[in-house]
């Protein structure tokens, strides 16, 4: 939710948060229900491997969008700034 508030124009933030919070409240129990069914049909290790693979894939997909954001005239988003600072700090 921090990304939603940081990237949303200030005049739209109340409307965005009004939409995001109920969607999150509905999605949480549905996610837990789905996770229970997956755990019953699979085991814990395959589920953890699938989650790790999905998160790794999304990190690879999000990285180019971070570079594109930093190249725009608007400047980097707050989420990308921490990555850029960490990259620049390396020798």
pLDDT band with cut points at 50, 70 and 90 for residue 2:
low
Residue 24 neighbours by CB distance under 10 Å:
11
How far, in Å, CA of 85 to CA of 40, rounded? 43
What average pLDDT does the chain have? Answer: 76
Q: Read off the pLDDT of each residue in 35-60 and give the average, rounded to a whole number.
A: 90
Has residue 32 got a pLDDT over 70?
yes
pLDDT band with cut points at 50, 70 and 90 for residue 20:
confident
DSSP 3-state helix, strand, coil percentages of the chain (rounded to 5)?
A: 80, 0, 20
Task: Say what the pLDDT of residue 56 is.
Answer: 93
pLDDT band with cut points at 50, 70 and 90 for residue 54:
very high
């Amino acid at each position: 939710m921090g990304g939603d508030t940081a990237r949303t124009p200030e005049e739209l933030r109340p409307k965005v948060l009004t939409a995001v919070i109920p969607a999150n409240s509905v999605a949480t129990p549905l996610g837990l229900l789905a996770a229970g069914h997956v755990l019953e049909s699979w085991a814990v290790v395959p589920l953890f491997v699938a989650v790790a693979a999905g998160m790794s894939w999304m990190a690879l997909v999000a990285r180019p969008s971070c570079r594109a954001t930093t190249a725009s005239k608007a400047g980097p988003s707050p989420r990308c700034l921490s990555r850029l600072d960490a990259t620049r700090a390396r020798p």
